[in-house]
Structure 1
């Protein structure tokens, strides 16, 4: 409207309006309210899509993951799920769901940090959207994290392969049930680095995996007690 806005006030019977003019004014008022809502939603969506692109780029996410996150955000907006919640919170949750759907190994902590939000807030928005939209969200498997952590730590292929074999053994021994995928992946990577002669400290792996050293130490002890490793010279 080029900066000029005409606000149609409340329309009541009586006064100088004919019944025809009264009906017309009511229609105008109705459309004005609709346009205001539409304009507000468009601004919200525009900000959200820009943020998805920005955060996705910082996290090096594939284009298709960002597009899927945008689709989830649009659905949330249509269902009025963004009302009373921050745009950043819904964006972070949408990105996390998209990453899990495509098995792109990004943790809640990573996404929350880039969005300058607490893990608790993102987790709350994530659960709310999943429940409200009836979405499925399968978590990345520990194997995906093993490959990712090995790459980030600069470990040679034989150590990565050994870590995957240790993970398979842990799974067969039912040591992975009820354990977070990042924690068990970090532990087998540490185990493999020790056996493979390319040791990385628990602190180094903890920083890459986004878990505590205590978690790695506890999972490692469990593996050490149950898995017999034969080293061929």
Structure 2
């Protein structure tokens, strides 16, 4: 917001009245004609494009940085197609030469022990992320956390699998993606105890703060896997909100509470699901679902139809 002189006082120029003159490189106020800023440097390209194809053809930059690749995607890659730039097949002698280039290019990408560690860890992270169906934002966050752990020397003496799994769990907690520690640990060679130990280490050494797990974060995922309607999932979230206001959620497993709320909502909306089905999807036991179900019905005084 800039100011202009008016009758001896300073008044701000409205933001919606400020325009940019591309020919002169100046910001001008439409009301007063005052030049607010001049000699503005154009940060865009020096070329013009009128179609998407023309813009892509003239662009001289690569793709964005990818945290899930050990070198962030900055290195070059030699194509596996045995053809030249004109699309013609290479001669046998030339093909062998290209194979040699490709071999040494791959070796040159991974030179130090840190590069080898990151290459193995990023492959493991991508594998677990795909098995869990995690979005790219979570995988990028996990990769960033793992890189910080490598820089601090936290991976030394510990298995790569356990630190990667812990990084994924931290990323899920930070971005509020409902994945339990047991669910992540089952896809790794490391056991749950080791992953939990690495998780606590990352929080302490990297000074990472994670929000408290909320049972409502599990509602959408469990409901989607059970093919429940939006009305049932909304009512389950309302049940959990009432239970939280009454202090019933303190010290309880969020997944178990969400499973019980889903079970109640499904009964009331005539989308009957068994406790066994819900327990399997939520990753808890039937006993947990049954106990949380009884507590919610009794304390919230819910009227459940006869089964």
Shorter-chain TM-score tier: 0.7 to 0.9
Asked whether the equivalents of residues 186 and 205 of structure 1 are also in contact (C-alpha less than 8 Å), the reply is yes
Of the candidates 116, 128, 131, which is equivalent to residue 58 of structure 1?
Answer: 131
What corresponds to 2:9 in structure 1? none
Establish whether residue 166 from structure 1 lines up as the match of residue 223 from structure 2. Answer: no
Asked whether the equivalents of residues 104 and 140 of structure 1 are also in contact (C-alpha less than 8 Å), the reply is no
> After alignment, is 190-199 or 87-96 more displaced?
190-199
Establish whether residue 104 from structure 1 lines up as the match of residue 177 from structure 2. Answer: yes
Deviation at 1:175, TM superposition (A): 0.7
In structure 2, list runs of 5 or more residues that go unmatched: 1-110
What corresponds to 1:176 in structure 2? 249
Q: Distance in 2 between matches of 1:169 and 1:195?
A: 16
- What pairs with 1:149-228 in structure 2 (closer than 5 Å)? 149-228=222-301
Asked whether the equivalents of residues 146 and 163 of structure 2 are also in contact (C-alpha less than 8 Å), the reply is yes
Deviation at 1:230, TM superposition (A): 5.9
Higher strand share: 2
Asked whether the equivalents of residues 169 and 181 of structure 2 are also in contact (C-alpha less than 8 Å), the reply is yes
Q: Distance in 1 between matches of 2:152 and 2:130?
A: 27
What corresponds to 1:9 in structure 2? none
Deviation at 1:51, TM superposition (A): 1.1
Establish whether residue 134 from structure 1 lines up as the match of residue 207 from structure 2. Answer: yes
Q: TM-score, normalised by structure 2?
A: 0.61
Q: TM-score, normalised by structure 1?
A: 0.79
* 1:45-95 Cα deviation digits (max 9, x unpaired): 111111111211221111121111111111111111111100000000001
What corresponds to 1:95 in structure 2? 168
Establish whether residue 79 from structure 1 lines up as the match of residue 152 from structure 2. Answer: yes
* 1:113-132 Cα deviation digits (max 9, x unpaired): 11233221111110111111
SS of aligned partner of 1:114: coil
Higher helix share: 1
Q: Distance in 1 between matches of 2:175 and 2:113?
A: 31
Of the candidates 102, 106, 124, which is equivalent to residue 197 of structure 2?
Answer: 124
* 1:192-233 Cα deviation digits (max 9, x unpaired): 1122221111111110001111111111111111112368xx
Q: Hey, which bits of structure 1, 4+ residues long, moved more than 6 A? A: none
Aligned-pair RMSD on alpha carbons? 1.5
Asked whether the equivalents of residues 297 and 303 of structure 2 are also in contact (C-alpha less than 8 Å), the reply is no
> After alignment, is 182-191 or 54-63 more displaced?
54-63
SS of aligned partner of 2:209: coil
What corresponds to 1:144 in structure 2? 217
Q: Distance in 2 between matches of 1:189 and 1:153?
A: 10
Aligned length: 194
Q: Distance in 2 between matches of 1:139 and 1:208?
A: 22
